[in-house]
Structure 1
Amino acid sequence: MTNDLLGRHRAVLPDWLALYYEEPLEITHGEGRHVWDAQGNRYLDFFGGILTTMTAHALPEVTKAVSEQAGRIIHSSTLYLNRPMVELAERIAQLSGIPDARVFFTTSGTEANDTALLLATAYRRSNTILAMRNSYHGRSFSAVGITGNSGWSPTSLSPLQTLYVHGGVRTRGPFASLSDDAYIAACVDDLKDLLGHTRAPAALIAEPVQGVGGFTAPPDGLYAAFREVLHERGILWIADEVQTGWGRTGEHFWGWQAHGRNGPPDIMTFAKGIGNGMSIGGVVARSEIMNCLDSNSISTFGGTQITMAAGLANLNYLLEHDLQGNARRVGGLLIERLRAVAAQVPAVREVRGRGLMIGIEITEPGTDDADPQAAAAVLEAAREGGLLIGKGGGHNTSALRVAPPLSLNVAEAEEGAAILENALRSIP
C-alpha cells in the first residue's frame, strides 16, 4: 500500500517536494509523543512534523476545542469580527513583550516572514534587507530571496536587495576561534563595516536559533549588540521565532530574550508550534509599524476560527503545564546524554542547542568536512530503531535535528537517546 501511495505521490506532486527515508513513511495517527505508520509500526517522535506538534499528538484539549468550534463555524474571513482571533491576538500581544503591539495572523511561517518584510520595507521605504548567513525564512519568492542557505534557495531573483551578516554559526567561519565576547565584537565590527557600504537597509531579519540551518546559534547577546548599531540608524530588527518561540529553548519563552538587554524586536514572526498542527502563523509589531500600510488588505484564511480555537487551547495547555520549564529540564538531560555519547563517536563534530531544540553535526572523523551520507544513514538507523528525527544544516545537510514535543518526559528522553546512541555508533 505504501509503495502504491509513493507511486501516486510521484505522479502528481513536484519532484522537488522532499521525502525522508529510502522507503518513505506514511504516518496514519499519533498520540502523545508517539506516531504510527501504515504498517502499524510505532515510533517515538523527536521531530513533531518539523517542530509543529508542540505539545503532544492528539492533545485532548486541542482536539476538543477544534471539534466544538467546527460545530459552530469554521471560517468567515477577516471581513467579520472574530472572537477567537481577537482573544488569541490579545494573549500573544501581551506575551510578546513588544509595546503597543498589533498582531496579524497568517497561515504559515513563510507568509508571516513575507508580511514582516512588507511592513519593514514600507515603513522604512527601503528594499534592502540584512539577513544572516546560513539562514532560512520560508519558500515564498521574497523569503527565498533572503535565505542565506543555498540548499533552500532555488533562485537568485528577488524583489529585495539582500546583504548577509556574520554571526549565526558560532563554531564555523572566520571568527570561530574567538572567545564569545571577541566573537560578538568582531561580528559587530563586520556589521558596521557592511553598513558603511550600502544605502540604509529596512531591517535585519534573524532567527535566534537557526532552524533549517541545523540548530546553530550565536553567543547570547549578539543580537542585542547588533540592535544598538541598528537602532542608531533607524534600522528595524525582525526576530524570526517560527521555530524558537513558545518556550522551546527552555531558558526563555522567545528566542530573542537571550539577546534582550536592549529591549524586544521591532517585529516578531511566529508559526509552527502555536497551532499544534493547525495552520497558524503571524506577525507582531509596534502599532506604528503594523499600521504603516496605506492600502486595504484582508486575510481569507489567516486567523480563521477553527485554527484560532486550536491555538488558544494549545497556548493555555502550554502555560498551565509549564512546558517551557519541562523543555529546560528534560532538554538539559537529553543534551548531556547525547554529548556523552558523541564524545565516543568520532563522526560527531558537535552536539549543540538548548531546551528541546538540539542539533547533532556529523562530519568526516577528524575533520570539519560535512558527511551528509553518514547523517542520512543515522536518520535511517534511528527510524529502524523506532525514532523519528530531522536533518538540516548549511554544510550539505549534515546536521541531525532533535525537537520533540515539549511534553516529553524523562523516560521517553532516555529511550530516544538510547536509540540515537545505537544509530550514531552504526556510522562506519
Structure 2
Amino acid sequence: MTDLYTRHQAVLPDWLALYYEDPIEITHGEGRHVWDAKGNKYLDFFGGILTTMTAHALPEVTKAVSEQAGRIIHSSTLYLNRPMVELAERVAQLSGIPDARVFFTTSGTEANDTALLLATAYRRSNQILAMRNSYHGRSFSAVGITGNKGWSPTSLSPLQTLYVHGGVRTRGPYAGLDDAAFIEACVQDLRDLLGHVRPPAALIAEPIQGVGGFTAPPDGLYAAFREVLQEHGILWISDEVQTGWGRTGEHFWGWGAHAASGPPDMLTFAKGIGNGMSIGGVVARAEIMNSLDSNSISTFGGSPVTMAAGLANLGYLLEHDLQGNARRVGGLLIERLRAVAAQFGGVREVRGRGLMIGIELVKPGTDRAHPEGAAAVLEAAREEGLLIGKGGGHDTSVLRIAPPLSLTVAEAEEGASILERALRRAQ
C-alpha cells in the first residue's frame, strides 16, 4: 500500500486529496460493504461520495453493463442510441418539469456547466446568483459560482457571481430567527440585491448543500425565492447532484421541499443514478434546452454502457422503494445519532434528511469549527470498520454520512455504534 501511495504521489497532483493518514485502496464491494487491499472489511457510509446509490456490485446493474458492453460500448450522440432515449424518457417523466428535455453528460460538474451555458445563453446575461457555502463542481465555470473557499482555487471566472443568504440555517446573520422570519429576511436580502444589479440569468442552488456539510434552509425558502425570481424573469436551477433520486426520503428531488412554486426551470443530476458509472445530466424546459443556436454533441455523455447501467439502477430503485427505505431507515439513524451526540460536548448539531446526514463538530465549550476533531473521528471510524466523509463551510468540521439507499436497520445500528466509539476515541 505504501508503494502504491508513493507512486500516486509521484504522478498525480498534490491537490488530489486522499482520506486517511495511511490511505486505503478499495478493491471490491458487495451490498453496503467494501474491502481494502489488506483484506479489511468496512461498512460503507459514504458510497464513493454519494455515488453508490443502491448497493455495491448490484447484480442487476453489473448484468446490464456486461450485456451492453458485449453488444457495443460506444457510438457518440451522432447516432440514435436506444438506451439513452429510454433513460431520458424516464428521467423527463420523473423530473416534474413540463415539456422536459434531457441532456446527458459524464459528471455533475459537466451537468452544472451545461446548465450555466443554457441559462446565460437563454437570458443573454453572464450574471449568476449562487448560495453562500455552495459547491457545484470542478470546472472553470463551476468553480466560479462555488461559494465555499476550500473548493474554489481561483477567483477568475467567465461569470459574474452574486452570493445569496439562506443555504445555512444555523449560522450567519439570520441564524437566531425562527423559520418564517429567516425566510423573510433572506427574501428581503434577495430583493435588495436585485435592486442594485442588472437581472441575472439564474439562481443555482443545492436544496441541501453537500460539500458544505449537509446544510439546508427551512422548507419553502426556494419557493419564496422563486416568486421574486419570476418577477425578473430569472431562472431557477436546482442542483440535485447529491439530493436526487430519493436520497432525502421525503422527496424524490430535493426541490420537493420547496414545491409551492412548482418545479425548477432546470435541474442537474449525476452521482447516484449510475451507481458508480459516469452519468450526469440536465433536465430543462424545451424552450430553454433548445435555445442554443449552434451545433453541439457529447462524445461520452449518454454512452450505451452507462445508460444501460442507469436504466437498471433506476428500475431497481423504484421497484424496491429505496426512497421509502431512505425515509424509514434514515429517520431511525438520525434519531440514534442524535442520542449518541447528546453524550459529547463537541457535537454542535446532527442534521439531515433520509440518508443524507451531517454531524457538525465544534471545539468543546465553544461554537468554533473543529476540523482536527473531524479528521480524528474519520480516522477512528475507519479503524473501527466504518467509512464516512467530511465537509463543511469555513472549516471541514462536519462528518458526512450517506450510505447506499438499501441500508438495513441492523447496518444503521452497527454504523451508529461505531460512530459512538469513534467519537469517544477522538474525544
TM-score by length of 2: 1.00
> Aligned ranges for residues 374-413 of structure 1 at < 5 Å?
374-413=373-412
Structure 1 runs of 4+ off > 2 angstroms? none
- 1:354 paired to 2:353: yes
Task: Could you tell me which runs of 5 or more consecutive residues in structure 1 were left unpaired when the two chains were aligned.
Answer: none
Q: Distance in 2 between matches of 1:384 and 1:197?
A: 53
Deviations 1:93-118, CA, capped at 9 Å, x for gaps: 00000000000000000000000000
Alignment of 1:228-307 (within 5 A): 228-307=227-306
Alignment of 1:135-150 (within 5 A): 135-150=134-149
> Which amino acid is the alignment partner of residue 114 of structure 1?
D
1:112 maps to which residue? 111
Question: Equivalents in 2 of 1:250, 1:21: separation in Å?
Answer: 30
- The letter of the residue matching 1:396 is D
Decide whether the 8 Å contact of 2:351 with 2:357 is kept in 1. yes
Deviation at 1:249, TM superposition (A): 0.1
The aligned residue for residue 154 of structure 2 is 155
d(CA) in 2 for partners of 1:368 and 1:197? 34
* Aligned position for 1:371: 370
Mapped to 1, the partners of 2:170 and 2:399 lie a distance apart of: 16
Q: Name the residue aligned to 2:41.
A: 42
Deviations 1:137-159 (A, max 9, x none): 00000000000000000000000
User: Is residue 53 from structure 1 mapped to residue 52 from structure 2 by the alignment?
Assistant: yes
Counterpart CA distance in 1 for 2:335 and 2:344 is: 15
Q: CA separation in 2, counterparts of 1:105 and 1:367?
A: 46
Q: For the residues of structure 2 that align with 1:113 and 1:25, how far apart are their CA atoms?
A: 30
Tell me the SS of whatever aligns to 1:75.
coil
Match of 2:75 in 1: 76
Q: Distance in 2 between matches of 1:218 and 1:121?
A: 26
Q: Structure 1 counterpart of 2:291, which letter?
A: C
Q: Show CA shifts across 1:150-208 (max 9, x none).
A: 00000000000000000000000000000000000000000000001111100000000
| Aligned counterparts of 2:71 and 2:426: Cα–Cα separation in 1 | 53
Between the two proteins, what is the percent identity of the paired residues?
A: 86
What is the CA–CA distance in structure 2 between the aligned matches of 1:196 and 1:426, rounded to whole Å? 52
After superposition, the CA RMSD in angstroms is 0.4
Distance in 1 separating the partners of 2:129 and 2:21? 38
Give runs of aligned pairs for residues 98-247 of structure 1, distance below 5 A.
98-247=97-246
* Structure 2 CA distance for aligned equivalents of residues 391 and 245 of structure 1: 20
Asked if 1 retains the 8 angstrom alpha-carbon contact of 2:215 and 2:352, the reply is yes
The alignment covers a number of residue pairs equal to: 427
Q: Distance in 2 between matches of 1:8 and 1:315?
A: 37
Identify unmatched segments of 5+ residues in structure 2: none
1:22-51 CA distance string (max 9 Å, x none): 000100000000000000000000000000
> Tell me, what secondary structure is at the counterpart of 2:6?
helix
Letter in 2 for 1:10: Q
Provide the secondary structure at the position in 2 that maps to 1:283: strand
Q: Secondary structure at the match of 2:93?
A: helix
Query: Shift of the alpha carbon at 1:367?
Result: 1.5
SS in 1 for 2:260: coil
TM-superposed deviation, 1:366: 2.1
> Separation in 1 of the partners of 2:245 and 2:277?
15
| Offset of residue 426 of structure 1 | 1.9
Cα-to-partner distance string for 1:37-89 (whole Å, 9 max, x where unaligned): 00000000000000000000000000000000000001100000000000000
Amino acid at match of 2:227: E
Q: Distance in 2 between matches of 1:147 and 1:197?
A: 22
1:320-349 per-residue CA deviation (whole Å, 9 max, x = no partner) reads: 000000000000000000000111100000
Contact 1:347/1:427, CA 8 A, preserved across alignment: no
Is 1:67 aligned to residue 61 of structure 2? no
